[in-house]
Amino acid sequence: MNLKDQLIPERLPQHVAIIMDGNGRWARKRGAARIFGHQSGVTPVHDVVEASGELGIKYLTLYAFSTENWGRPADEIENLMLLLVSTIKKETKKLMDNNVRLMTIGDLSKLAETPREELLKLKQLTAANTGLTVILALSYSARSELIQAAKKIIGDAREGKITPEEMNGTIFESYLETAGIPDPELLIRTSGEVRISNFLLYQIAYTELYFTPVFWPDFRKKDYYEALLDFQNRERRFGKTSEQV
């Protein structure tokens, strides 16, 4: 029985988040420029998007570019933005054909005009699609997200729209960029690094973490299925005992 056939639909996560890591190191091992690693990282994006849609997973969040990544060499950032634009143009028809909706989280105002406009156009074009929702985290920082949420709450409190006594988890979550999106049940990080890197810090409170040594450009459907199999074999207790679950 192949890996995909071992998956139990009822035990699959509704939302998977992925830290796509290792492009640069993958390229360096091959004596190539870092951009070659980023270009080669497009294929596994195709794979996980396609596999998620086939399996009925509802949300897929991909950590594509953090606020810290703005500190990288200018030529690498420029090449990444060019790659983003070319990928968007190539994938538009496929996203529409497969009923995929695109969303973003992060500060898009920091992006150059062309990639920002292309992203906004694709988001608008796919907004009514009802299949898999792909959420790109671009120029994203979980700490910044929480700070911005706090600022909005303080502003609303000053205007009398909310009181401290009314604040609860549900209301707080409505101020986050991920408002209306369920928390990820599974977070995958590639390349062997074992850290969160300022990603969805609030949302992953009860998320199962899966770390694989596979570099992102080498990540394929079989690696994705292995992560999903590992997830569905775990017991998620949420603070309870095994007997209570």
Mean pLDDT over all residues of the chain?
A: 95
Rounded distance, CA 162 to CA 189, Å? 38
Question: Which one, of 87, 82, 83, 89, lies nearest residue 121 by Cα?
Answer: 89
3-state SS assignment for residue 219: coil
Q: Is the pLDDT of residue 245 over 90?
A: no
Of 172, 178, 239, give the one whose Cα is nearest residue 203. 178
Q: Mean per-residue pLDDT for 147-158?
A: 98
Domains of the chain: 13-141+182-232 (3.40.1180.10)
Distance CA 25, CA 22 (A): 5
Task: Let me know if 21 is a catalytic residue.
Answer: yes
The average pLDDT across 135-156 equals 98
- Say if residue 1's pLDDT is above 90: no
Question: Of 2, 5, 21, 129, which is the active-site residue?
Answer: 21
Q: Taking residues 6-11, what's their average pLDDT?
A: 96
Terminal C-alpha separation, the chain: 29
pLDDT tens figures, 93-132 = 999 999 999 999 999 999 999 999 999 999 999 999 999 9
Mean per-residue pLDDT, 179-200 = 98
How far does Cα 78 stand from its chain's mean position?
Answer: 21
pTM for the full predicted model: 0.95
Quick one: which of 138, 173, 157 has its CA closest to 68? 138
Q: Say yes or no to pLDDT of 158 above 80.
A: yes
Active-site position among 69, 98, 129, 198:
69
At 12-53, the pLDDT tens digits run 999 999 999 999 999 999 999 999 999 999 999 999 999 999
Structure tokens at 55: 């399996």
Q: Which residue has the tokens 């139990």?
A: 8
What percent of the chain is predicted at pLDDT more than 70? Answer: 96
Give residue 235's pLDDT band: very low, low, confident or very high (50, 70, 90): confident
Q: What is the 3-state secondary structure (H, E, C) of 98-117?
A: CCCEEEEECCHHHCCHHHHH
The DSSP code for 2 is: -
Three-state DSSP at 220 gives coil
Which ranges constitute the DSSP H helices of the chain?
3-6, 23-29, 34-40, 42-55, 74-97, 113-126, 142-158, 169-173, 221-232
Q: What is the pLDDT of residue 243?
A: 59
23 is catalytic: no
Say which DSSP state 135 is in. E
Residue 215 clears pLDDT 80, i.e. is over it: yes
Q: Cβ(126)–Cβ(88) under 8 Å?
A: no
